C-alpha cells in the first residue's frame, strides 16, 4: 500500500470536518474502552501477565535469528514450506508463483495486515487470481473500491450502518437492508460461495509457535477457519517478529490479546495449525506455505526502537488514543494507525515520509498504560521526534525558532532581558484583563483556548524583591 502519511495534516483536517466520521468515531470509542476495562478484571494478576508477555516477546527478539531458524525447522518437518520476503513486492511474487504452480483461480483471504502492506490484492488481480476478502469489515472495504482499513481490528469502524446498507444494495443488487443481522446474513451468503469454490486460502498469523512449527490464528467470524480448512492450498503471510517460543506462551498471550482488542475473555476461534493434511484426512490443505516478511522489521532489531516489535496488533493503543478517537485511522495514511502506527510507519516507510506522525500524539500515555506487552509508545514517539530534529527533517521555521531559543536560553543575560520584555509586552497586550484571546504569533494555538496574561514582572524580579524585604 502506498503511504499517504506525508499528508497527515490535510488528512486530519478533512477527518475533523467530516460529520459522519465524527459521529461514527464517537459511537465506537466507548464500546472498545468500556469492554476492555471490564474484561481485564477477570485476570487476577493482569499486570503480572502483561509483564510475562513483555518478557517472552523480548526473549524472542533478543535471539530472533535463532528462533526463526527453530520455527523454520519445526514447520518444515511437518510438511510446510517456508519462504522469505524482503518487501511487499516479494510477497506478491511469492503468492503469484504459488498460484501458478497450483493452478489457482480464486484466493479467499482472512485478515492480514501484511497483505495490506504489500498491496497484494491488486497484484493478484494482475496475475489473474481473484482475491476475495472474507473478514466482514475487509470485505466491505474491498467492494468499496479497495478502500484502506481505518483500524487494525475493526477495519470499518469509520463507517455507519447506512453507508454499508447503501454499498450492499449497489454492489449485490439486492433490496436495501437496514438491519445489521440482515446485512451480515447477506455477506455470509455471498462469501460462503467463495469459500466453497476457492482453491487458495491466504491468512495472516497472530503468532508463530517455534516449539511446534505452528501458526496461531485468532478470529471471531470463523473466516480464518474457513480459509485454512477448505481450499487445497494455504498461504500464511506474517512478519518475522511474530515468533513465540512455546504453547504455554500462546496461552499467556491469549489471556491478553482478545481482552485488549475487543474486550472478550477469548476470541470465538483460536486455531493452532501445523503442517499439511494427512492422506486419509477429510479436510485441510494439501499444501502449506509460510511467507516470513521483513519489510523494514530486520532493521529495527537491535535499534532503540526494538521494543516496538513486541506489538501483538491488538489495537488497544488506538482505541484509547484521544487523537485517534477524533480523527480516525485514515488520516495516518498507511496500514497502521494510532500510536503504534505513528511509530511503525516512520520506521518501515522512512522517517522523512511520515514527518507529522510522531507529533500526532499528546504523549498522554494512555496507549502505554493499556498496551498488553508494555511498549512505551510515548517514549518511542519522543525518540522519533529527536531523530527528526537530529536529521534536520523538521520544517525550517521550526528549526529556526528552536535555534534562536537555544541561543537565548544559553545566555542568562539575554534570557533575563527577553523575559523582562516578554512579560511586559504580554501584560500590555492583555490590556488589564486576565487572559489574551488571540495571539498573532500563535493564532492556531489560541483558536481553542486563551493565553493567560502574566502579571508584568519576571520570576527573578519577584524573587529579588521578596529577598530584599526583611
Partner 1 sequence: MSSREDILGRVRAKLGRNETNAVAARTGIDVILAAKAQGPRPHVAMEMSALAGRLIDKSLAYSSTVDQIATQAEAPAAIARYLAGLGLPTQAVIWPKLADLDWAGAGITVAAREAQDADLVGITGCFCAVAETGTLMLCGSPDSPAAISLLPETHIAIVPASRIVPGMEEAFALALNELGQLPRAVNFISGPSRTGDIEQTIVLGAHGPYRVHLILIDGE
Determine which residue in the list 373, 380, 381, 453 makes contact with ligand SF4, applying CB under 6 A: 373
| Cβ pair 398, 427 in contact under 8 A | no
DSSP assignment of 76-101 = HHTT-EEEEESSHHHHHHHHHHHHHH
Sole binder of partner 1 in the list 16, 18, 58, 84 (CB under 8 A):
84
Question: What 3-state DSSP class applies to 158?
Answer: coil
Q: Which is nearer to ligand SF4, 212 or 260 (CB)?
A: 260
**Per CB under 6 A, 292 contacts ligand SF4:** no
Residues 215-244 that bind ligand SF4 (CB under 6 A): none
- Tell me which of 298, 393, 426, 436 binds partner 1, using CB under 8 A: 298
Q: How many residues in the shown chain lie near ligand SF4 by CB under 6 A?
A: 14
> Judged by CB under 8 A, does residue 201 bind partner 1?
no
How many residues bind partner 1 (CB under 8 A)? The answer is 103
Burial class of residue 121 (count of CB atoms within 10 Å of its CB; 0-12, 13-18, 19+): buried
What's the DSSP call for residue 203? E
Among the listed residues 198, 240, 323, 331, the single contact to partner 1 using CB under 8 A: 240
- The rounded distance, in Å, linking the Cα atoms of 427 and 452 is 10
DSSP letter at 351?
Answer: G
Partner that binds at residue 312, options partner 1, ligand SF4, none, CB closer than 5 to 8 Å by kind:
ligand SF4
Applying CB under 6 A, the span of 63-71, 124-132, 294-302, 370-378 interacting with ligand SF4 comes to: 370-378
- Least separation in angstroms between residue 389's CB and partner 1 is 24
Q: Which is nearer to ligand SF4, 129 or 317 (CB)?
A: 317
Work out whether 340 is an interface residue with ligand SF4 (CB under 6 A).
yes
Q: Is 61 in the site for ligand SF4 (CB under 6 A)?
A: no
Pick between residue 137 and residue 378 the one whose CB is nearest to partner 1: 137
Note the helical H segments in 120-264: 120-126, 136-143, 161-172, 180-197, 223-229, 247-262
Residue 469 in grid coordinates: 524585604
Q: How far is the CB of 384 from partner 1 (least distance, A)?
A: 18
Considering the complex, state which of residue 15 and residue 370 has its C-beta at the smaller distance from ligand SF4: 370
Look at phi and psi of residue 12 and say left if phi exceeds 0, alpha if psi is from -120 to 50, else beta.
alpha
Find the binder of partner 1 among 13, 20, 26, 27 (CB under 8 A): 27
315 binds ligand SF4 (CB under 6 A): yes
> Which partner in ligand SF4, partner 1, none is near 52 (CB below 5 to 8 A by kind)?
partner 1
Q: Which of 241, 194, 207 is nearest to 60 (CA)?
A: 241
| Closest CB 370 distance from ligand SF4, rounded Å | 6
Residues 241-280 within binding reach of partner 1 (CB under 8 A)? 245-252, 254-255, 262, 265-278, 280
313 binds, among partner 1, ligand SF4, none (CB under 5 to 8 A by kind): ligand SF4
* Residue 152 · residue 184 · CB < 8 Å: no
316 binds ligand SF4 (CB under 6 A): yes
Q: In the window 163-192, what residues touch partner 1 (CB under 8 A)?
A: 164, 180-181, 183-185, 188, 191-192
76: contact with partner 1 by CB under 8 A: no
Tell me how far, at minimum, the Cβ of 342 lies from ligand SF4, in Å. 10
Please choose, out of 128-136, 341-349, 362-370, 386-394, the segment that lies near partner 1 by the rule CB under 8 A.
Answer: 128-136
Q: Which are the contacts of 109, defined by CB distance < 8 A and separation ≥ 6?
A: 115, 121, 131, 132, 133, 134, 138, 201, 202, 203, 227
Record the cell numbers describing residue 339, joined without a space: 500510536
Contacts of 31 (CB under 8 A, 6+ apart): none
Instruction: Please list, in sequence order, all residues whose beta carbon lies within 8 angstroms of the beta carbon of residue 84, skipping any fewer than 6 positions away.
Output: 291, 292, 293, 294
Cα separations (Å) of 325 from 23, 158, 249?
A: 11, 10, 32
**Number of Cβ within a 10 Å radius of residue 30:** 10
Does residue 294 belong to the site contacting partner 1 (CB under 8 A)? Answer: yes
In the complex, the residues that contact ligand SF4 under the rule CB under 6 A are: 260, 311-317, 340, 370-373, 375
Amino acid at each position: 500500500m502506498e503511504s499517504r502519511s506525508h499528508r497527515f495534516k490535510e488528512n486530519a483536517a478533512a477527518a475533523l470536518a467530516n460529520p459522519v466520521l465524527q459521529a461514527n468515531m464517537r459511537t465506537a470509542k466507548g464500546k472498545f474502552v468500556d469492554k476492555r476495562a471490564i474484561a481485564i478484571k477477570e485476570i487476577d494478576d493482569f499486570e503480572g501477565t502483561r509483564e510475562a508477555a513483555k518478557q517472552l516477546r523480548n526473549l524472542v527478539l533478543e535471539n530472533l535469528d535463532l528462533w526463526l531458524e527453530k520455527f523454520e525447522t519445526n514447520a518444515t518437518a511437518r510438511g510446510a514450506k517456508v519462504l522469505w520476503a524482503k518487501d511487499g513486492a516479494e510477497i506478491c511474487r511469492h503468492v503469484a508463483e504459488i498460484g501458478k504452480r497450483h493452478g489457482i483461480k480464486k484466493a479467499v483471504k482472512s485478515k492480514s495486515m501484511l497483505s495490506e502492506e504489500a498491496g497484494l490484492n491488486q497484484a493478484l488481480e494482475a496475475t489473474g487470481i481473484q482475491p476475495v476478502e472474507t473478514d466482514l469489515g475487509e470485505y466491505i472495504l474491498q467492494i468499496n473500491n479497495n478502500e484502506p482499513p481505518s483500524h487494525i481490528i475493526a477495519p470499518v469502524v469509520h463507517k455507519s450502518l447506512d453507508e454499508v446498507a447503501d454499498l450492499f444494495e449497489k454492489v449485490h443488487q439486492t433490496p436495501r437492508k437496514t438491519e445489521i443481522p440482515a446485512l451480515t446474513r447477506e455477506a455470509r451468503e455471498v462469501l460462503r460461495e467463495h469459500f466453497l469454490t476457492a482453491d487458495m486460502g491466504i491468512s495472516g498469523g497472530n503468532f508463530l509457535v517455534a516449539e511446534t512449527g505452528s501458526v496461531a490464528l485468532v478470529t471471531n467470524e470463523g473466516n480464518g477457519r474457513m480459509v485454512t480448512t477448505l481450499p487445497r492450498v494455504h498461504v500464511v503471510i506474517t512478519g518475522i517478529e511474530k515468533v513465540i517460543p512455546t504453547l504455554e506462551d500462546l496461552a499467556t498471550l491469549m489471556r491478553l490479546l482478545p481482552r485488549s482488542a475487543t474486550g472478550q475473555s477469548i476470541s470465538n476461534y483460536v486455531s493452532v495449525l501445523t503442517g499439511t493434511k494427512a492422506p486419509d484426512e477429510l479436510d485441510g490443505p494439501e499444501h502449506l506455505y509460510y511467507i516470513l516478511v521483513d519489510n523494514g522489521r530486520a532493521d529495527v532489531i537491535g535499534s532503540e526502537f526494538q521494543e516496538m516489535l513486541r506489538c501483538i496488533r491488538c489495537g488497544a493503543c488506538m482505541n484509547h488514543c484521544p487523537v485517534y478517537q477524533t480523527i480516525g485511522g485514515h488520516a495516518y495514511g498507511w496500514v497502521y494507525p494510532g500510536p503504534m502506527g505513528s511509530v511503525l510507519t516512520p520506521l518501515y516507510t522512512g522517517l522523512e515520509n511520515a514527518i507529522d506522525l510522531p507529533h500526532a500524539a499528546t504523549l498522554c500515555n494512555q496507549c502505554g498504560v493499556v498496551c498488553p506487552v508494555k511498549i512505551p509508545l510515548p517514549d518511542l514517539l519522543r525518540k522519533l521526534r529527536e531523530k527528526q530534529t537530529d536529521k534536520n527533517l523538521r520544517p525550517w521555521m521550526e528549526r529556526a525558532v528552536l535555534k534562536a531559543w537555544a541561543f537565548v536560553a544559553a545566555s542568562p543575560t539575554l534570557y533575563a532581558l527577553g523575559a523582562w520584555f516578554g512579560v511586559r509586552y504580554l501584560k500590555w497586550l492583555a490590556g488589564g484583563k486576565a487572559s489574551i484571546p488571540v495571539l498573532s504569533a500563535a493564532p492556531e494555538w489560541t483558536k481553542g483556548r486563551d493565553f493567560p496574561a502574566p502579571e508584568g514582572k519576571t520570576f527573578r524580579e519577584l524573587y529579588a524583591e521578596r529577598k530584599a524585604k526583611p
